[in-house]
Chains A and B, each alone.
Chain A
């Protein structure tokens, strides 16, 4: 199975408010809030860390879940977020030019 890479879409706006990340879609200004899993995915989506590694190191470390199940769920979530143009997904690493900050703010 090929590896999946995820990156934050540079066209979205994002801010953490009281621990909850809100994202405004660059496509149509729709506002989203991310749940805990989606927030972890958003913060770790640097374009060069493969999804399976994010799941193993970040999601499985926080939730009591089977790695295979977690990876499947994370892939579904990543594709959903990509559908809203919040994340970019690719089977190759995604170069990040002027990447939005994911961690600190």
Chain B
């Protein structure tokens, strides 16, 4: 984050302004990615008029950075009408898309409307791997064509590469592809549970040894010794700091109008079809509960070696059952990075060691 943006974010936090909002326009999608956490059926998306009214309310509430995502945003027939309205309200608009519906004409229109950046999911530089993840034959070629169209318009493009079992060996190839295309590239090993709580997608996450390998790749992390060092003990400043921006300067709105602290934090705090966006942001009890949490309130994490450097996600912790608790995926990351078990992992191991196997008595077994 640039110094000025950091300064403005701190000011937004003081003023309780939601500077940064992700709005999913739809959960419908033209790909079927194996790791996706969404239900792609339409259960009553907001209409064009409802979304425009919401955008008006968001602008009035002070939202500056608006990320339009999905699902696949371009499956909405009214996408450009929504985008035009958003830009008329001078949002800094960022798009997240698989881009397979973007051709020359769409790229030119995106450019004309002054979109800040377009983030496109690319899982591999090899069609057989990428297309096996999206389950759409030819999808890699179409996404790469779109990147070229967008680049030719001078737009900023970011490749987002989610790392999972299927594409673990391909991240270097994706990065080389990004360099060749002249675009930025991000790598994220986080797999999110389904929004209904189903955790089966987590089995697609990379294992400990693969994570370890990623965290020791200097082309990704820079100085490996520094990146993998055991962190210093947390000071008072860390204890009083905020777990993340969710609910403080950022939130998420679903295609059905539900407002959550973050796209990865499925705690419903209100619905813009029934309440004004700003009223949910300011007065929702649940939003205010999330907002009240300080690092010192985290139950297990305050005892952890990794406390001061962990990437703990409060939303993932919430999905594990406690928004003040640890997020096991982030414990795994801290462990893979430093080789030191987290307090949460140690506690689970102790609990496992205390379990005694109970053998059925012969008489009971016979009557069961």
Contact = CB atoms under 8 A, between A and B. Distances in A.
A69 interface: no
Contacts of A22: 4, 8, 64
Nearest to B17: A17
Contacts of A104: 60
B237 to A, nearest CB: 24
Given A11-B114, A22-B64, A17 B90 contact: no
Interface stretch (A23-31, A45-53, A56-64): A23-31
B59 A29 contact: no
Contact of A98 (B11, B12, B84): B84
A12 B91 CA distance: 9
Interface in A10-50: 10-18, 20, 22, 24, 26, 29, 31-33
B11 A10 contact: no
Interface residues of B, number: 27
A20 B89 CA distance: 17
Contacts of B114: 10-13, 26
A100 B86 CA distance: 10
B117 A29 contact: yes
B133 interface: no
Given A12-B114, A17-B8, 4 more contacts: A15-B90, A29-B117, A31-B4, A105-B59
B116 A13 contact: yes
Chain A interface extent, by class? 20 to 34
Contacts of A12: 90, 114
A101 interface: yes
B8 A13 contact: no
Interface of B: 2, 4-5, 8, 11-12, 15, 17, 19, 59-60, 62-65, 84, 87-93, 114, 116-117, 156
Contacts of B89: 100-101, 105
Q: Point out which of B8, B19, B92 has the most chain A C-beta atoms below 10 A from its C-beta.
A: B92
Contacts of B64: 13, 15, 17, 22
A4 to B, nearest CB: 23
Nearest to B92: A13
Given A17-B11, A17-B17, A105-B59, A98 B88 contact: yes
Contact of B62 (A11, A17, A24, A98): A17
A36 B355 CA distance: 67
Contacts of A99: 88
Given A29-B117, A105-B59, A18 B15 contact: yes
Nearest to B12: A17
